[in-house]
Amino acid sequence: MEIIFDLKITFLGTGTSQGIPIIGSNHPVCLSENLKDKRLRVSVLLNCDDLTLLIDCGPDFRQQLLRTDCDKIDAILFTHEHSDHTAGLDDLRPFYFRQGKIPVYTHRRVIRQLKKRFGYIFKKENKYPGVLTLDVNIIENSSFFINDIKIIPIEVFHHKLPVFGFRIRQFAYITDAKTVSEEEIKKLYGLEVLVVNALRHETHLSHFNLEEALNFISCVKPKKAYLTHISHHLGFHETIEKTLPENVFLAYDELEITI
């Protein structure tokens, strides 16, 4: 029988690519004083057994980590290459200084894009002292292990761009999804907690809207689901949460859950 240990999930950010509030916006949600309506770019921190795993590292990473007591990151899982998921890469340097190379797990395509934006990190010769160094691990759509923790990639499509979600035991995290194949949905059965994107009420080219996210949750049937990658167009946190099914919740920045 498999021994199950606690998995702690910390939502570092739950907003869409511009965050909430949007700079210069006078939209009512952007003007809200409720802290649950203030959303940094999406990322989660996972504590599983003795491992600390980071999913995505966006432009708010430094600010997000200063709000936690995290002092180590054992590995990073990148879902895809867009800036709101990768632009904070350089702010991993304090962890590199303490730990050495930081293991990164992602698709080969994502590494190619990161090499274009962060060429100095990937230099082989004459590298500037103190620059972050990564231990790059290329993954495909098949399971892999970090220490004894099994990671199952879930391939979804962000319009036409393949994006990886990840399942770890009875938890799964999916962001920037618009379509998911039946084969990938089968990987998600039996979850305690599903996290999935829900951008707004109106349909969108490359993201689930609220209705699509709820339909997806109904298909997967997790015990609980949390919505993330939320824009100001979805509405006020307290208002929207009252309309959701009893097992579905809006995630918010700094929310912690344990399963």
Residue 244 belongs to a domain: yes
Residue 152 belongs to a domain: yes
Amino acid 129: pLDDT: 87
Q: Residue range 87-92: average pLDDT?
A: 97
| CA torsion through residues 47, 52, 58, 59, sign | positive
Amino acid 126: pLDDT: 86
Mean pLDDT lowest among 47-51, 61-65, 79-83: 47-51
Residue 259 belongs to a domain: no
Q: 26 and 225 in contact (C-beta within 8 Å)?
A: no
Amino acid 6: pLDDT: 86
Task: Give percent of the chain above pLDDT 70.
Answer: 98
Residue 29 confidence (pLDDT) above 80: yes
Q: Does residue 129 have a cis peptide bond before it, meaning omega lies within 30 degrees of 0? A: no
Amino acid 47: pLDDT: 97
Residue 168 confidence (pLDDT) above 60: yes
Q: Whole-angstrom Cα distance, residue 199 to residue 177?
A: 10
Q: Residue range 185-190: average pLDDT?
A: 98
Q: Whole-angstrom Cα distance, residue 194 to residue 192?
A: 7
Structural domain boundaries, residue 118: 7-253
Q: How many domains is the chain built from?
A: 1
Question: What value does the mean pLDDT of the chain take?
Answer: 96
Name which of 159, 150, 67, 169 is nearest 105 in CA terms: 150
Amino acid 5: pLDDT: 52
Residue 25 belongs to a domain: yes
pLDDT class of 169 with cuts at 50, 70, 90: very high
The string of DSSP letters for 224-252 reads EEEEESB-GGG--HHHHHTTS-TTEEE--
Residue 2 belongs to a domain: no
pLDDT tens for each residue of 230-257: 999 999 999 999 999 999 999 999 999 9
Q: Whole-angstrom Cα distance, residue 50 to residue 41?
A: 26
CATH code where residue 232 lies = 3.60.15.10
Residue 217 belongs to a domain: yes
Amino acid 227: pLDDT: 98
Residue 61 belongs to a domain: yes
Amino acid 2: pLDDT: 46
pLDDT tens for each residue of 128-151: 889 999 999 999 999 999 999 999
Q: Residue range 55-75: average pLDDT?
A: 97
Amino acid 243: pLDDT: 98
